[in-house]
Amino acid sequence: MNHTKEHVPLLRHLGRGITRFRWWIIGLSVLFLIGTGAFGAGVTRMLLLARFEVEGSESSRTGQLLEQHFKAGDPNLLLLVTAKNGTVNDPAIVNVGKELQKELETQPHVTVLSSYWDRAFAPALRSKDAKQAIIIAHISGTATEARELLRTLSPKFTRDLPGATVRVGGQDEIFRQVGAQSEQDFIRSDMIAIPLVLLILVLLLRNLWAGLLTLGISLFAILGTMSVLRILIQFTEVSTFALNLTMVLGLGIGVDYCLFIIARYREELEKGQDVQGAIIRTIETAGRTVIFSALTVAISLAGLILFPFYFLRSFAYAGIAVIAIGVCGALFPLPAMLAIMGHRIRPWSRRQQSTSVEQGLWYRISHMVMKRPVSVSVPLLALLLFLGSPFLRINFGTPDQRVLPPGVSSREVHEEIRLNFPAEENDAIHIVALNTTDSQRQAIEQYARALSRVPGVFQVDTITGAYANGEQVARADEWSDRFVSEKGTWLSVVPSEERLNSDPFGLVDAIRAVQAPYPVQIGGAPAIIQDFRNTLLASLPPVMVFIGIVTFILLFFMTGSLLLPLKAILLNILSLSATFGALVWIFQEGNLSSLLGFTPTGSMEVSIPILMFCLAFGLSMDYEVFIMSRIKEEYDRTGKNVHAVALGLERSGPLVTAAAALMALAFASFSVSGISLLKMLGVGMTLAVLMDATVIRGLLVPAFMRLMGQANWWAPQPLQRLQRRLGFSE
């Protein structure tokens, strides 16, 4: 039943070429490692920080209008001044505040937006006990430019004065420290994961050289990807978090591919093949599987490119690059080294071999499952649905200072503001109206009064004064002139602390619902985050459809079946639902927060589940390809469905489990990250990988294939001919 007349010669020639030119391949690979190591080493300093903005959205345009026409902008820097004794109204502290404001105004690219000591009425800028006050400013430019400036500004304005302390906060300072923390976590996770992975590889493969080779291919993929990212930076924006994914995915994918190549090579040696024959057969079989596996993961990650955010696109760039380079490492330098080492890659100690494959653990487990497919699958499906039920309670929220670990300065600043201040002017909602003038004061005042009546609005500031609960609480003064220019006017809607923390998006919707007397555009931090969330969620369905359709087509060309790809996709969705349910229970609802070391916020940042979906879906298909390739190989040979499933699982199950365990270990290194978003990604991916490799592939796959019988391999005759003609069958 062999239909590989087209692709086998190509892979066979590749295997022959590798054995013939093995020393050339090793030499070029060493040069590649040296070159990429030197070139890619500087990528860390060039990666960018992202703001949660949608380019071209209403909130983004509003921020640009404020900067262009009103010499204002969205607040992204603040100074928190705390009086050591007395209050911020004491003459000495007033002097400190005014001097700080003057000094801040002299800094390049910095515009002071508001200061407690520069306004006649500013209750939102003073703490309830009058011991703290705020200066709010805007740094122009990109998030990365702001980060670079804050490297100087933050230590410069962090002061311990005789009568007061000064600390730096603001959204860009928070994410500057997130970037710094992620760089530290990158090094820490490397130090944890790499030695553990090497130790487990040596114990698993029972050969030091095999373990070192596998880790070497992972390094090959990681260094190569770092160089690719450095090149991509010249043409597009790449997020600093791409480096974290490069490390963990490079480590995991390198292990995955190498385990299957080495295991198949050893298997061929055991069958009596010489070294060259074993290499050729390994490339023809395991090499083909690795290529298919890489395509499935790359397709899932390619879905991230469809999102209009370079934060998510960066993960796609890093993931696709590390997979492509990892495949090249598994298909070229790894077989070349195997050809050089020959039989020395075999295990140190030879385990007693079973007299028949029927005595294997996975063979026996699969037969046990296939004898009672309904009794096994129904409780497991019920369990997965139960685990996924918390996902129905998911609440997509906004990331804030709590993504950082306790003790980080910007988190402490914003925690104190949240607890001690009646409102957060730093997170005000901005309303810009072009082509309006100072002469429309009555309309502006009526609109401001209406906005101030919205539940959760602490105060509205505009050219005509300040308003709260529909009443004017302060008359216009010199500071109010900032709300008008020859291009138009704008209003600042300051939310109460309670409403901002409990329902920021509802507040934005309520403000949008207030009838304006003229055309307006709405921005500010809550509106920016709302636009980000809405755009992400709107982009998700087409991304899911793209991933599903392309994956289905690819799996069909591998298996020749219409049912098996559908089964794989449905089981993946079920597995991911259970994983997301667990994440809601752990991170949103705060269970295990003390154990894992994070602060629950009652919501989940929306981009991490989306990233997890694309990444986990691809890795799940990775294991599906490894298992189904061996099952199909046996089915093509014997035509017996039950036997093929059992033998295919016996051949691939131990490797898939080992690869998943090592992949999970790599992702689990993120759980020690100080950044809760990375911690969530690490825990979620660890759960997803382990659940998929055990419950899904080990139990539900054989149960499903037993129930479907020969229908597993059915496809209409025209599609069968197409699949055979394209040469993808084994």
730 confidence band (pLDDT: 50, 70, 90):
very low
Helices (H) and strands (E) in the chain, counts: 26, 14
Asked if 291 and 379 sit in the same domain, the reply is yes
Section 194-206 average pLDDT: 88
Asked if 650 and 554 sit in the same domain, the reply is yes
pLDDT at 8: 47
Rounded Cα–Cα distance for residues 298 and 615 (Å): 9
pLDDT at 572: 92
**Is residue 56 included in any domain, yes or no?**
no
Higher pLDDT, 33 or 720: 33
Asked if 165 and 181 sit in the same domain, the reply is no
At residue 350, does pLDDT exceed 90? no
The alpha carbon of residue 453 and the mean position of all alpha carbons in its chain are separated, in whole angstroms, by 39
**Is residue 647 included in any domain, yes or no?**
yes
Rounded Cα–Cα distance for residues 683 and 447 (Å): 48
pLDDT at 384: 94
Higher pLDDT, 28 or 10: 28
pTM, whole model, 2 decimals? 0.85
At residue 332, does pLDDT exceed 90? yes
pLDDT at 357: 65
**DSSP code of 469?**
T
pLDDT at 9: 66
| Residue ending a domain, choose from 169, 190, 224 | 169
Asked if 134 and 185 sit in the same domain, the reply is no
pLDDT at 238: 84
| Residue ending a domain, choose from 151, 169, 187 | 169
DSSP-derived secondary structure for 49-85 = ---S--TTSHHHHHHHHHHHHSS-----EEEEEEESS
Residue ranges of the alpha helices (H) in 342-408?
Answer: 361-371, 373-388
203 confidence band (pLDDT: 50, 70, 90):
confident
pLDDT, tens digit, for every residue of 351-373?
555 446 677 888 899 999 999 99
How many independent structural domains does the chain possess? 3
Rounded Cα–Cα distance for residues 706 and 643 (Å): 10
**Is residue 636 included in any domain, yes or no?**
yes
pLDDT, tens digit, for every residue of 629-676?
889 988 888 888 999 999 989 888 888 888 888 889 888 888 888 888
CATH number of residue 627's parent domain: 1.20.1640.10
Rounded Cα–Cα distance for residues 453 and 455 (Å): 6
**DSSP code of 448?**
H
Section 390-407 average pLDDT: 87
Question: Are 109 and 205 a contacting pair, CB within 8 Å?
Answer: no
At residue 2, does pLDDT exceed 50? no
pLDDT at 638: 87
Kindly report the average pLDDT of the chain as a whole number. Answer: 88
Asked if 219 and 320 sit in the same domain, the reply is yes
3-state class of 521 per DSSP? Answer: strand
Structural domain boundaries enclosing 457: 436-518
**Which of 77, 47, 48, 3 is CA-nearest to residue 414?**
77
Rounded Cα–Cα distance for residues 235 and 237 (Å): 7
pLDDT, tens digit, for every residue of 566-583?
999 999 999 999 999 999
**Is residue 112 included in any domain, yes or no?**
yes
476 confidence band (pLDDT: 50, 70, 90):
confident
pLDDT at 351: 54
| Residue ending a domain, choose from 518, 549, 564 | 518
Section 281-305 average pLDDT: 90
Asked if 715 and 644 sit in the same domain, the reply is yes
**Is residue 524 included in any domain, yes or no?**
no
At residue 188, does pLDDT exceed 60? yes
**Is residue 65 included in any domain, yes or no?**
no
Section 65-78 average pLDDT: 88
Using N-to-C axis directions, what is the helix angle for 208-232 and 310-331, rounded to 10°?
Answer: 140
pLDDT at 454: 94
Q: Which amino acid, 614?
A: C
pLDDT above 70 as % of the chain: 96
Rounded Cα–Cα distance for residues 80 and 174 (Å): 14
pLDDT, tens digit, for every residue of 128-176?
999 999 999 999 888 778 888 999 999 999 999 999 999 999 988 988 8
Contacts of 24 (CB under 8 A, 6+ apart): none
Asked if 535 and 612 sit in the same domain, the reply is yes
5 confidence band (pLDDT: 50, 70, 90):
very low
Rounded Cα–Cα distance for residues 248 and 606 (Å): 21
pLDDT at 455: 94
Asked if 45 and 111 sit in the same domain, the reply is no
Angle at 289 between CA 353 and CA 28, to 5 degrees: 100
498 confidence band (pLDDT: 50, 70, 90):
confident
Rounded Cα–Cα distance for residues 465 and 701 (Å): 68
pLDDT, tens digit, for every residue of 630-641?
899 888 888 889
Please report which helix (H) or strand (E) contains residue 138, including its range.
strand 132-139
Asked if 197 and 320 sit in the same domain, the reply is yes
Section 483-495 average pLDDT: 91
**Is residue 70 included in any domain, yes or no?**
no
Asked if 164 and 185 sit in the same domain, the reply is no
Q: What phi and psi values does residue 201 have, to the nearest 5 degrees?
A: -60, -45
**Which of 503, 513, 526, 502 is CA-nearest to residue 451?**
513
Using N-to-C axis directions, what is the helix angle for 525-559 and 504-513, rounded to 10°?
Answer: 110
Rounded Cα–Cα distance for residues 480 and 483 (Å): 6
3-state class of 168 per DSSP? Answer: strand
pLDDT at 450: 95
pLDDT at 50: 66
Rounded Cα–Cα distance for residues 165 and 82 (Å): 5
**Which of 334, 200, 361, 253 is CA-nearest to residue 626?**
253
**Is residue 71 included in any domain, yes or no?**
no
Most confident stretch, 134-148, 356-370, 447-461, 613-627: 447-461
CATH number of residue 136's parent domain: 3.30.70.1320
124 confidence band (pLDDT: 50, 70, 90):
confident
Question: Are 664 and 30 a contacting pair, CB within 8 Å?
Answer: no
pLDDT, tens digit, for every residue of 412-438?
999 999 899 988 888 899 999 988 776
Asked if 271 and 383 sit in the same domain, the reply is yes
Asked if 261 and 391 sit in the same domain, the reply is yes
At residue 25, does pLDDT exceed 60? yes
